[in-house]
With several copies, the nearest count.
Chain A
Amino acid sequence: MIDIRIQSNEFDFSQEVKNFQNNKIDGAVVCFLGSVRDLEPKETLEKLEIEYYPKMAKKVLKETAKKAFKKWSLSQCLIIHRFGELEVNEPIVLVITQTKHRKDAFKANEYIIDFLKINAPFWKKEHSPKGAKWVKQNRRDLEINF
């Protein structure tokens, strides 16, 4: 079971976990939740704007999930990614992976988030009292070997 959602409205992590668990299949579940960080220490984030390329974003997330699904024998996989205007602490991305053995759930989950960080067409723009600026890609993300 693969579930991919790209949405502007906020999602409820705990509710997603609950829904996910209703299909009890395997023993190990790993979740990753990424939320909007403030611009510490000197600035304040007014909002985070996320632009995306709809057709391609959906395709990349789906293909990434499928690859992970096959490689680590996942029983379930959920990816949710937000777009639009977000505030500090709002959830941006959720990845849940379920497998028989925990190592696979960890590996699959990290693979998905690492891969989408450098391949899924989403762009973040930070708005603060000083103005707006596009977030730069994290160099460390590019150094990951898949």
Chain B
Amino acid sequence: MKIIYFAKIRELIGKSEEEISFPNSVKTIEDLIVFLKNHNKIYHNVFENYDFLIACDEELVDMNYEINKTKEIAIFPPVTGG
């Protein structure tokens, strides 16, 4: 699964995108975040301490969203455009 990061989240994670494989038990965004938090300390720190939003295939989604058909997940801070 391709995950992309933007802005402060990108800086904290230290990369703008990556391919991550995760087990079949990861079904929702919430599962994914838990999985990433257990993956290493950087993710743990980011998802524990910073506000973030999730977009699946360019659509904002909530934590219950099921990701089985998603091709690209974007994780980024609250937006500040306009």
Which stretch in A7-15, A16-24, A65-73, A116-124 binds the other chain? Answer: A116-124
Is B82 touching A123 in the complex (CB atoms < 8 A)?
Answer: no
Is B6 touching A120 in the complex (CB atoms < 8 A)?
Answer: no
Q: Tell me, yes or no, whether B13 is within 8 Å of chain A by CB.
A: no
Given contacts A51-B6, A123-B8, A134-B7, contact A56 B58 (CB under 8 A): yes
Given contacts A51-B7, A53-B74, A134-B7, contact A124 B81 (CB under 8 A): yes
Note all chain A residues with C-beta closer than 8 A to B81: 50, 52, 57, 81, 92-93, 116-117, 120-124
Within 8 A of A (CB), among B23-82: 55, 58-60, 74, 76-82
Q: Tell me, yes or no, whether A113 is within 8 Å of chain B by CB.
A: yes
Note all chain B residues with C-beta closer than 8 A to A118: 78-79
Given contacts A53-B6, A134-B7, A134-B8, contact A123 B77 (CB under 8 A): yes
A116 CA to B79 CA, complexed, in Å = 9
Please encode chain B, from 1 to 31, with 1 for each CB lying within 8 Å of some chain A CB and 0 for all others.
Answer: 0001011101000000000000000000000
Q: Tell me, yes or no, whether A136 is within 8 Å of chain B by CB.
A: yes
A135 CA to B80 CA, complexed, in Å = 7
Interface residue tally on A, bucketed by range: 20 to 34
A51 CA to B16 CA, complexed, in Å = 12
Is B80 touching A116 in the complex (CB atoms < 8 A)?
Answer: no
Is A119 touching B80 in the complex (CB atoms < 8 A)?
Answer: no
Note all chain A residues with C-beta closer than 8 A to B55: 53, 56, 121
A118 CA to B7 CA, complexed, in Å = 15
Is A120 touching B82 in the complex (CB atoms < 8 A)?
Answer: yes
Give me the interface of B with A, judged by CB distance under 8 Å. Answer: 4, 6-8, 10, 55, 58-60, 74, 76-82
